Amino acid sequence: MKADVTRLLPRPLLVIVTVLLCALVLTPVLYIVLASLNSDVGVASGEFWPGTLTLDSYTRIWTTAELSTGIVNSLIVCGVTAMASALLGTSSAYVLVRFSFLGRVSILRGLVGLQSIPGTLMLLPVFVLFSSAGTYLGLTVIGTRWGLFLAYLTFALPFSTWVMVTYLRSLPRELEEAARTEGASTTVILWRIVIPLSLPAIVVAGIFAFLLGWNDVLFASVLTRPETRTAAVALQVFGTAQEGGALPVYSQMMAAALICAAPVVLLYLLFQRYLVGGLTAGGVK
């Protein structure tokens, strides 16, 4: 006997609402794609459909906006941040979930509390701290990739740890107990059992850490110099530099925006299966 499914809306109305929502989301994306294939004059004149499709904007943007350096810096910093936060978050979450010690509950509550602190409030303290490291320790932090990595890791690690805590609570302890009776150490259990079983959640934590750095403009604009600026900062600088010009290069701006969005879209397509599994598995006991 099939179970009755309760729908919030009748099927015809549900189809109409779905089509309208998809059109609302995809219409701006379609306009960006068409504008990037149009000329700057055509976009400035208000053309929606380009009279002539051209890829000139995609070839010229690499010299006008200096996207190549920004994308390389973003991939390095965000990739290292994603891997470090996922691995450290998994190790920290395993300790918080499987062991009892003084202050464990306070740490778990602190992880939740850290998510409510706006990043804008931390910009000045982080800048002063990094500047002090250069003054008192002789370390150059501001303007380097690893300084930006430390800033991103500070915000990504609490979230990654909490994601892994939620997921590890749903893993059965029997597998670890069976491995421990066979003489496996805690490190072996973590790397041979926990991490392979937690791969969907690790991917989720890594992707969110990657996006945190990829979309950031505030910290990257303050903690970098022209040689180490990220793709988001390069795109912002390019857009700001073109304001008030004789001919706004809207087509090149659209092309640059699509190029900067391509790695994120590719990341979602590659890890879509793990992403969906990691987001849903931790909520089902």
Here the tokens at position 271 are 């890890």
Please, are residues 250 and 44 in contact by the beta-carbon 8 Å criterion? yes
pLDDT (0 to 100) of residue 7: 64
Give 63-80 as a DSSP string.
Answer: HHS-HHHHHHHHHHHHHH
Q: Could you report the per-residue pLDDT of 63-79, keeping only the tens digit for each? A: 887 788 899 999 999 99
**46 contact partners, CB below 8 Å, separation of at least 6:** none
Confidence grade of residue 2 (pLDDT, cut at 50, 70, 90): very low
C-alpha span between 236 and 134 (Å, rounded): 28
Please, are residues 163 and 282 in contact by the beta-carbon 8 Å criterion? yes
C-alpha span between 281 and 278 (Å, rounded): 6
Spell out the domains of the chain, with CATH numbers in brackets.
Answer: 62-281 (1.10.3720.10)
C-alpha span between 143 and 132 (Å, rounded): 14
Confidence grade of residue 81 (pLDDT, cut at 50, 70, 90): very high
Please, are residues 232 and 78 in contact by the beta-carbon 8 Å criterion? no
In the 3-class helix/strand/coil scheme, how is 96-120 assigned residue by residue? Answer: HHHCCCCCHHHHHHHHHHHCCCCHH
Q: How much is the mean pLDDT over the chain? A: 84
Which of 156, 157, 117, 147 is CA-nearest to residue 220? 147
Q: Could you report the per-residue pLDDT of 155-180, keeping only the tens digit for each? A: 899 889 988 998 888 888 888 888 88
For 259, the 3-state DSSP assignment is helix
Cα end-to-end distance, the chain, whole Å: 26
| Average pLDDT of the segment spanning 272-276 | 72
Confidence grade of residue 82 (pLDDT, cut at 50, 70, 90): very high
Here the tokens at position 203 are 């991917």
- Whether the CA torsion 131, 133, 136, 137 is positive or negative: it is negative
C-alpha span between 200 and 203 (Å, rounded): 5
Here the tokens at position 244 are 């008030």
Confidence grade of residue 243 (pLDDT, cut at 50, 70, 90): low
Here the tokens at position 59 are 């070839």
| Average pLDDT of the segment spanning 168-195 | 86
C-alpha span between 44 and 51 (Å, rounded): 13
Which of 68, 81, 79 is CA-nearest to residue 231? 68
C-alpha span between 218 and 221 (Å, rounded): 5
| Average pLDDT of the segment spanning 91-114 | 86
Q: Could you report the per-residue pLDDT of 17-52, keeping only the tens digit for each? A: 889 999 998 998 898 899 888 887 788 777 788 877
Which of 64, 42, 65 is CA-nearest to residue 52? 42
